[in-house]
Amino acid sequence: MESKDNASTEGFIPFGKYRTYYRIVGEKTKKPPLILLHGGPGSTHNYFKVLDDVATLSQRQLIMYDQIGCGRSSIPDDEPNLYNANTWLDELENLINYFELKEFHLLGQSWGGMLAIMYLCDRNEDKIKSLILSSTLSSAKLWSRELHRLIGYLPANEQQAIKHAELVQDFKEKQYLEANAHFMNLHAGTAFPNSKKEIVKGTKAYMVAWGPNEYMPQGNLRNYEYTEKLTKIKTPTLIISGTDDLSTPLVSKVMADAISNSKWHLFEGSRHMPFVEENIRYKELLTSWLSNLV
């Protein structure tokens, strides 16, 4: 299921005194487009380019963008208070209104899935044809607890380095950095070389909103707890994760159990980016899901 015929357009959307960079793949059709929300906070749209084929395969547009504080969008690092859920929810709503979307599918990866969950639970579910939650979470507490469980499988010296860093709140020591890199390689995967520069641009957003690493949420999203709210979601939902994912099987199962109209697909051996590591199978799964819902 491969296609190279993927025309794309890009531009900027006004968002208050800032601007949001967007990229649209494919021609406009009668089918609702798919909006893709990247992770982080602080990552970029770049890694979603490996899904460009889905535009042709499902005969619909893909709309991806860099969230404020990330990539090619405005990066007001001198106004860190902007880096919070409400800003990014307002930005998503602004994008939907700008393109006058009456109906669309919504895919959120990692933090993007958190953003999608908050949008459906706290803003508006009406226009959303379906929800795809890819390697994400509904509880910061459960996420942290599960990742600390995984840390327990690291070599003793790496466990100690991480424990010490958490205790003294120093995340610059060589031993910690090496241990954290090993952990992330086991469960997250590596960054794309051509997008590393853009991802670095979003470091401030990540630190302010989430924290120093994946397993210590200390930022303004540290109290993100939406598991009980998930029962409000009636939109058809596809949950995707990997067996070796930061979004552990337990984290994903909690969401699948809470959302009544949901389906969960688990990629064996995949880490935090099954859309990269299982790219062809992921595209087949996503295309089938979208096509069945029109």
Q: What is the model's pLDDT at position 124? A: 87
90 counts as catalytic:
no
Q: Domains plus CATH for the chain?
A: 8-139+189-293 (3.40.50.1820)
Work out the pLDDT band at 201, boundaries 50, 70, 90: low
* Residue recorded with tokens 């899935």: 113
CB atoms within 10 A of CB 89: 15
Q: How far is 74 from 200, CA to CA, in rounded Å?
A: 14
244 counts as catalytic:
no
Q: How far is 89 from 82, CA to CA, in rounded Å?
A: 11
Residue type, 171: F
Q: How many residues does the chain have?
A: 294
Q: How far is 143 from 232, CA to CA, in rounded Å?
A: 21
Give the active site residue among 144, 245, 252, 270. 245
Q: What is the pTM of this model?
A: 0.94
Give the active site residue among 74, 110, 138, 247. 110
Q: How far is 280 from 82, CA to CA, in rounded Å?
A: 37
> How are beta strands 104-109 and 18-25 bridged, if at all?
unpaired
Q: Per residue in 79-100, pLDDT tens? A: 999 999 999 999 999 999 999 9
245 counts as catalytic:
yes
